[in-house]
Amino acid sequence: MRLEVGNILIKDIQFGDRTEVKEGVLFVNRDELAKVAGEDDRIASVEVYLAKPGEEIRIIPVKDVIEPRIKVSGKGGVFPGLISKVDTVGEGRTHVLKGAAVVTTGRIVGFQEGVIDMAGPGAEYTPFSKTMNVVLKIEPVEGLHQHEHERVVRLAGLRAAEYLGRAGQNVEPDHIEVYETKPLLEQVKEYPDLPKVVYVYMLQTQGLLHNSYVYGVDAKQIIPTFIYPTEVMDGAIVSGNCVSACDKNPTYIHQNNPVIHDLYERHGKDLNFIGCVITNENVTLADKERSSNMTAKLVEFLGADGVIISEEGFGNPDTDLVMNCYKIEEKGIKTVLITDEYAGRDGASQSLADSTEKGDAVVSTGNANEIIKLPPMKTVIGYPEVADIIAGGTDGSLAEDGSITAELQIIIGSTNELGYGFLTAKGR
Amino acid sequence: MTIRIVHYINQFFAGIGGEEKADHKPEVREGAVGPGIAFQQAFGEEAKIVATVICGDSYFNENMAAATDEVIGMIEKNKPDLVLCGPAFNAGRYGIACGAVAEAVVDRLGVPVVSGMYPENPGVDLYKKSAYIIETSNSAAGMRKAVAPMARLALKLARGEEIGSPEEEGYIPRGIRQNQFASERGSKRAVEMLIKKLKGEEYTTEYPMPVFDRVTPGAAIKDIKKAKIALVSSGGPVPKGNPDRIESSSASKFGKYSLQGIDDLNPENSETAHGGYDPVYANEDLDRVLPVDVLKEMEREGEIGSLHEYWYATVGNGTSVANAKRFAAEIAKDLLAAGVDGVILTST
């Protein structure tokens, strides 16, 4: 599968009469975007705001972040099985409004939604303080069940991202990257002397606000399977979860999966990247056993010499991470794990809920329990009072002056376990 | 301004005597004594050892609480910016005394401490989280080598400077995880680590896997029909409205709630505070997390002796092991006092 990704660099966003990209500026027709996003009987209202890097703006509670993309050639459309037909994607050409993002907020669904600060100390911990954000505040109709509330907001965000992405359809990209993984036997032949590497891509599937979707299917119900890396770039995997804000994978980070990009970076030089195995993180032991067995079997079948395994979430899924590691290492295949840590506010407790001696190569993306103080911002989009109840917050997190003192856990992407950020934890 | 330092040493290093003088009671002397003279030289003009507190190792270890109070009182009077303890090398009782003093200085006075010990000194495991303990050799012959890194770290701490890694500073890893930004993103570090592992080259894991405590199961209950059973849960089951505001993640507390007049949990009287799983089904019927209905029925039918009048609840989601241990100790004390024979622990 070969995909050309055309990046159109977005340097600024502004409201305008029509939605278009002109000389690196994304103009957004506010009403039209609100209409497209709000096309659902279960949505009562959609408000659109802009938030740019450096502005004193806080967005809370954030549900998802999505990158505007559009298929220019090749089969299917973005987010297949959800807002496009369920064609297999990942081939042809896709245009990206690089530097722009859709951020969804609104009344809280559960506990797990997070914070984006566009300035101040909190901004250093989230990748989305560096993007030009089109923020949608989406309110559902009264009495909507939580599961439906989550779904309605998720789909509205995807529609908005596709709508904005369409503005890039006929724009000449600033640069084009080409990514290709061939069918297994051909791919192995291409670099016969390089070690074969598979990426084991764990998807959060613990239930409401802990779900992920693959071609529209709730990943709870999948048996681990093979996926080409370029399918992911076209939105084959979508976030339906808000695990904890710090270590959920927003749809944006799936679209830009850094493990995939950094493996491609060394593809043909130090390794032969033969593809991804997606697996889930269900809550029952039988599910965990089945999925880790199947994952190990598939990785072996593909002939991998080494794998990178990324986790999503913490605690319960630590067991899935450890089972995957143990069973894959048992087959003589080398593993590297990516996880974050919950070492307590003082950093003195053990960081994971499960352990294996075979996990001797671990990348840490930081201790999510560490406390941060976020100063007040001039503008708050959303509902600041949820700071007291979201995961990582505590009664009294929100002070009268509007500042928030809470764990890093509340910041979107702060300890992202795909390794999107630079944070790590060290033994002291 | 000169940095004020107080030095804690034992009777041996103070020149009072060996084992026969180990019951020496705490005393304070002005200025540097024994090894303090070498430290004073290392500090130069920047810091001054204003007082030395001396205590016999036997006295300290046999009267730990009282001796700690006495020693801390003497240290506090001298208003230190930093406290030095030892070094104790491989002397076990001296190491424990140094560690206990260090812990109390940090906790009660909020003043940083530097000590020095051989890694196998029992004081290391007990107190490495409280103080920076510089790794030393196993005997006093290593004094000269211990002074330089201890003095350097002491000055850094007193100046409020950032402390480097254990390798850089020479202290024994404290087992404390601290965040920092790396020069490459996580995914790139993972790819590089994998390439090294595949090539058989050396690599360093960023997180050595933890070793867990194993709990031996208690003996079986002999007569369940007479037993008093209690319910304890980390699944977040709380009375409606979460009166104690137990956090949805990283709980800092647990709650104790009465079951009087409750035969069944329902959306009117209860909910879950847990933020780590789909709460919809728990909120519809919280007996799914905390089986009150079934246990009340068993109590009525005489299948168990009785159900303890209270349930205990916290949230396990992202809660540190240290907090969980503290909750468990407090809950267990309460259960024992109430004569509970068996506990049903539920999670999520």
Shortest distance between the Cα of B33 and any Cα of chain A, in A, equals: 31
Question: How far apart are the C-alpha atoms of B65 and B309, rounded to whole Å?
Answer: 37
Does B340 score more than 90 pLDDT? yes
Instruction: List, edge to edge, every strand of the sheet that includes A64-66.
Output: A43-51, A132-140, A100-105, A64-66
Q: Which of B111, B202, B130 is nearest to B171 (CA)?
A: B130
Q: Which of A381, A378, A408, A375 is nearest to A55 (CA)?
A: A378
Does B75 score more than 90 pLDDT? yes
**B residues 4..23 contacting A (CB < 8 A):** none
CA closest to B249 among chain A residues:
A391
pLDDT recorded at residue A191: 98
The two structure tokens encoding residue A112: 């797990």
* pLDDT tens digits for range A340-384: 999 999 898 889 999 999 999 999 999 999 999 999 999 999 999
pLDDT recorded at residue A348: 87
pLDDT band at B214 (very low <50, low <70, confident <90, very high): confident
pLDDT recorded at residue B116: 98
pLDDT band at B138 (very low <50, low <70, confident <90, very high): very high
Query: Which chain A residues are within 8 Å of B243, Cβ to Cβ?
Result: none
Mark yes or no for CB contact A426/B178 under 8 Å. yes
Question: How far apart are the C-alpha atoms of B274 and B279, rounded to whole Å?
Answer: 7
Active-site option among A242, A246, A276, A325: A242
Query: Which chain A residues are within 8 Å of B185, Cβ to Cβ?
Result: 258, 262, 419-422
- A248-287: burial string, b at 16+ Cβ within 10 Å, e else: bbbbbbbbbbbbbbbbbbbbeebbbbbbbbbbbbbbeeee
Does B162 score more than 90 pLDDT? no
| 3-class DSSP string for chain A | CEEEEEEEECCEEEECCCCEEECCEEEECHHHHHHHHCCCCCEEEEEEEEECCCCCEEEEEECEEECCEEEEECCCCCCECCCECCCCCCCEEEEEEECEEEEEECCCCCCCCEEEECCCHHHHHCHHHCCEEEEEEEEECCCCCHHHHHHHHHHHHHHHHHHHHHHHCCCCCCEEEEEECCCHHHHHHHCCCCCEEEEEEEEECCECCEEEEECCEEHHHCCCEEECHHHHHCCCEEEEECCCCCCCCCHHHHHCCHHHHHHHHHECCCEEEEEEEEEEECCCHHHHHHHHHHHHHHHHHCCCCEEEEECCCCCHHHHHHHHHHHHHHHCCCEEEEEEEECCCCCCCCCCCCCCCCCCCCEEEEEECCCEEEECCCCEEEECHHHHHCCECECCCCECCCCCEEEEHHHECCCCCCCCCCCEEEEEC
Percentage of residues of chain B with pLDDT beyond 90: 87
Mark yes or no for CB contact A366/B179 under 8 Å. yes
Question: How far apart are the C-alpha atoms of B28 and B50, rounded to whole Å?
Answer: 10
**A residues 352..371 contacting B (CB < 8 A):** 352, 355-357, 359-370
pLDDT band at B215 (very low <50, low <70, confident <90, very high): confident
Assess contact for B298 and B304: CB atoms under 8 A. yes
pLDDT band at A242 (very low <50, low <70, confident <90, very high): low
Does A243 score more than 90 pLDDT? no
Mark yes or no for CB contact B280/A346 under 8 Å. no
B114 SS3 class: strand
Between A49-58, A399-408, B208-217, the lowest mean confidence (pLDDT) is in B208-217
**A residues 118..157 contacting B (CB < 8 A):** 124, 145-147
* pLDDT tens digits for range B188-198: 999 999 999 99
The C-alpha angle with vertex A61 and arms to A55 and A64, in degrees rounded to 5, equals: 90
Q: Which strand (E) or helix (H) includes residue B132?
A: strand B132-135
Positions of CATH 3.40.50.2300 in chain B:
3-169
Percentage of residues of chain B with pLDDT beyond 70: 100
The C-alpha angle with vertex A214 and arms to A212 and A215, in degrees rounded to 5, equals: 140
Q: Which of B175, B185, B210 is nearest to A359 (CA)?
A: B210
Inter-chain CB pairs, A–B, below 8 Å = 248
Does A209 score more than 80 pLDDT? no
Which DSSP symbol is given to B315?
B
pLDDT recorded at residue B105: 97
- B296-321: burial string, b at 16+ Cβ within 10 Å, e else: bebbeeeebbbbbebbbbbbbbbbbb
Helix, strand, coil percent content, chain B, rounded in steps of 5: 35, 20, 40
Between A44-58, A298-312, A395-409, B315-329, the lowest mean confidence (pLDDT) is in B315-329
Q: What separation in angstroms does the CA of B70 have from each of A319, B36, B55, B219?
A: 48, 21, 10, 44
Q: Which of A109, A249, A336 to mutate to test the interface with B (most CBs of B within 10 A)?
A: A336
Mark yes or no for CB contact A315/B276 under 8 Å. yes
pLDDT recorded at residue B217: 87
Q: What residues pair up with A100 in beta bridges, in sequence order?
A: A132
pTM of full prediction above 0.90: no
CA closest to A332 among chain B residues:
B198
pLDDT recorded at residue B158: 96
Mark yes or no for CB contact B194/A271 under 8 Å. yes
Assess contact for A61 and A127: CB atoms under 8 A. no
pLDDT band at A104 (very low <50, low <70, confident <90, very high): very high
Q: Which of B169, B250, B347 to mutate to test the interface with A (most CBs of A within 10 A)?
A: B250
Shortest distance between the Cα of A278 and any Cα of chain B, in A, equals: 17
Instruction: Compute φ and ψ for A91, nearest 5 degrees.
Output: -125, 160
CA closest to B315 among chain A residues:
A391
Shortest distance between the Cα of B145 and any Cα of chain A, in A, equals: 22
Q: Closest partner residue to B323 among A112, A207, A344, by Cβ?
A: A344
User: Does the active-site annotation cover A325?
Assistant: no
Assess contact for A236 and A276: CB atoms under 8 A. no
Question: How far apart are the C-alpha atoms of B44 and A264, rounded to whole Å?
Answer: 56
Looking at the domain that runs over B3-169, which CATH code has it been given?
A: 3.40.50.2300
Query: Which chain A residues are within 8 Å of B188, Cβ to Cβ?
Result: 258, 262, 265, 419
pLDDT band at B129 (very low <50, low <70, confident <90, very high): confident
Does A112 score more than 90 pLDDT? no
**B residues 118..157 contacting A (CB < 8 A):** 129
The two structure tokens encoding residue A272: 């032969």
Does B321 score more than 90 pLDDT? no
Q: Closest partner residue to B197 among A110, A209, A361, by Cβ?
A: A361
The C-alpha angle with vertex A18 and arms to A13 and A24, in degrees rounded to 5, equals: 35
Q: What is the ipTM of this complex?
A: 0.97
Q: What is the mean pLDDT of residues B59-75?
A: 97
CA A219, chain centre distance (Å): 15
pLDDT recorded at residue B246: 95
End-to-end CA distance of chain A: 45
pLDDT band at A208 (very low <50, low <70, confident <90, very high): low
Burial of B177 (0-12, 13-18, 19+ CB in 10 A): buried
Question: How far apart are the C-alpha atoms of B228 and B232, rounded to whole Å?
Answer: 13
**A residues 15..54 contacting B (CB < 8 A):** none
* pLDDT tens digits for range A138-187: 999 999 988 899 999 999 999 999 999 999 999 999 999 999 999 999 99
Residue ranges of the domains in chain A? 2-410
pLDDT band at B234 (very low <50, low <70, confident <90, very high): very high
Q: What is the mean pLDDT of residues A326-350?
A: 95
pLDDT band at B165 (very low <50, low <70, confident <90, very high): confident
Assess contact for A341 and A305: CB atoms under 8 A. no
Question: How far apart are the C-alpha atoms of B83 and B88, rounded to whole Å?
Answer: 14
Mean pLDDT (chain B, rounded): 95
Neighbours of B287 (CB within 10 A): 18
* pLDDT tens digits for range B238-277: 999 999 999 998 899 999 999 999 999 999 999 999 988 8
**B residues 288..327 contacting A (CB < 8 A):** 316-318, 320-323
Q: Which of B295, B280, B301, B284 is nearest to B233 (CA)?
A: B295
Query: Which chain B residues are within 8 Å of A316, Cβ to Cβ?
Result: 276-277, 348
Q: Closest partner residue to B278 among A124, A210, A416, by Cβ?
A: A210
pLDDT recorded at residue B36: 97
pLDDT band at A241 (very low <50, low <70, confident <90, very high): confident
Question: How many residues are listed for chain B in this entry?
Answer: 348
